[in-house]
Structure 1
Amino acid sequence: MHRDIGTTAGGNASLQQVEHIVWDWNGTLLDDNHANMAALNQVCIEFGLPTVSLEYWRTVFRRPLRECYTELLGHEPSDAEWEKVQVIYDAEYLRHLPDCGLVPEAPRALKQWSGDGGSQSLLSMASHEHLEPLVGQRGLTPHFTRVDGRRFDSPHDSKAEHLVHHLRGQEQDPSRVVLIGDIDDDAHAASAAGAQAVLVARGLMARERLAATGHPVVDSVAEAVDFLRRLSWGT
């Protein structure tokens, strides 16, 4: 069955009926924009650069991450500089992480999808050792058939290879899967894996850049799940 929700959701893609959602974590379910910006601006300070706004970073942020830091720094970082960026960023982000809660509508959206009989899992580019306890501490583990952080390094610093591994591990048919995320790499990963995507314009990437992928764009995870419920079950 096909129903076009792309126009309503702010994109051009037609989504097929779906059975399984793969959720992104940072910026999608976890409300951590402020922690990311604090970490980014600590990098700016320690490199002698002016601090930047979320609005600016939404026009720059992308994967591979090293490319957007080249734009920020004004030159391609050396290996030593790149290591310094990562150490500064990670330390400052972790300092703010305890203040990061779930986006307000996330628990209800997760319960709705499960309650309608859909399955869901979680895939993040954060390290697996870092991610797993955070999900458990927030009481979300029972919602998911699988939780995967970054378990291996990929040459292109993209979620695509990780999504393929994640779906194979669950024997999911990619054509019945939607990845809900907040950056264009989520859309590219879904396309590469043979899955679909819905993008939420509340994270580190501007709506216009999300819409340019051709995938539906919504304002919240609640809106994403509402669209998918209507698509799949007419509810």
Structure 2
Amino acid sequence: MEARVKHIIWDWNGTLLDDNHAVIQAVNAVCAHFKRGTITHAEWQEIYTRPVSVSYSTLLGTELTVADWANVDRLYHQAYRALLHTCGLQRGADSALQGWRNAGGSQSLLSMFFHTELLPLVTQLGIADLFARIDGLREQTGGDTKVEYLRRHLADLGKQPDEVVLIGDITDDAEAAAQLGVDCVLVSVGAMTRRRLQTTGAPVVDSVPEALDLLRAA
């Protein structure tokens, strides 16, 4: 990790937002619709991948058409939205964000959650003014890989890849970062197990504050 890094691009779901309980309940709502038995969060951590449609093909044991995936995505987010009010920030995330800014660092938020819903949620949690830029998904159906969204986010920020680090919670974060020459730190508090995260070769830590400790130690 390079000491020159002055800007952090944060992932949202599972990284800054502690939504694991809402995620697994929403996944199980999809399971119930398709008459598939419920699963645990630990089991979902082993299945989850991007594109997310591949995860549901594995979960449901069938290939999904475009229409199938749109239906699954709708069912999932309908259940997920009903639980969003129960979700808060990850342990230590608020103070970590404040501390990075107070130390002179800049940061932005790049989420694959819907932009029109992301903005009010971040504002409600009282952290919107800590970010130089906030970008969410602007399409109607999500679940794609992050690389092109990251490329656009960098361009809109006016940052070079070697100036930033991406902090996320899934292998796709590391893969997108690697394709664009961006450093990445992964936190094992979200959608994937530490074992799976370690396969990327990116540094893996167990909390948001530990991710910042790693950057400061670089």
TM-score of the aligned structures, taking structure 1 as reference length: 0.89
Query: Structure 1 residues 39, 155: CA separation in 2 closer, same or farther (over 3 Å shift)?
Result: closer
Whole-Å separation in 2 of the counterparts to 1:190 and 1:131? 22
User: How much is the aligned-residue C-alpha RMSD, in angstroms?
Assistant: 1.6
Q: Please, which moves more after superposition, 159-168 or 74-83? A: 74-83
Q: Is the 8 A contact 1:154 1:161 kept in 2?
A: no
**Matching of residues 1-235 of structure 1 within 5 Å:** 15-17=1-3, 18-152=5-139, 157-231=144-218
| 58-67 or 81-90: bigger deviation | 81-90
1:226: Cα distance to partner? 1.1
The 1-side partners of 2:70 and 2:115 are apart by 20
Whether the 8 Å CA contact 2:9–2:107 is kept in 1: the answer is yes
Change (3 A) 1:74 1:185: same
Structure 1: tracts of 5 or more residues without a match: 1-14
Farther-moved stretch of structure 1 (151-160 vs 15-24): 151-160
1:191 Cα shift?
1.1
Q: Give me the whole-angstrom Cα distance separating, in 1, the residues matched to 2:24 and 2:141.
A: 25
Distance 1:153 1:72 in 2: 23
Name the SS of the counterpart of 2:91 in structure 1: coil
Aligned residues: 217
C-alpha deviations, 1:195-230, integer Å up to 9, x for none? 110000010101111000000000000000111122
Q: Is the 8 A contact 1:113 1:229 kept in 2?
A: no
Q: Is the 8 A contact 2:115 2:137 kept in 1?
A: yes
Q: Deviations over 1:41-76 (max 9, x none)?
A: 011111010100111111110001111111111110
* Residues 1:32 and 1:155: Cα distance change in structure 2 (over 3 Å): closer
Question: Amino acid of the residue matched to residue 132 of structure 2?
Answer: T
Where do 5+ consecutive residues of structure 2 fail to align? none
Do the aligned partners of 1:24 and 1:180 also contact (CA within 8 Å) in 2? yes
Instruction: Note the C-alpha offset of 1:130.
Output: 1.4
User: Post-superposition shift, 1:152?
Assistant: 4.9
Give, in angstroms, the shift of residue 78 of structure 1.
3.0
- Maintained 8 Å contact 1:128/1:148: yes
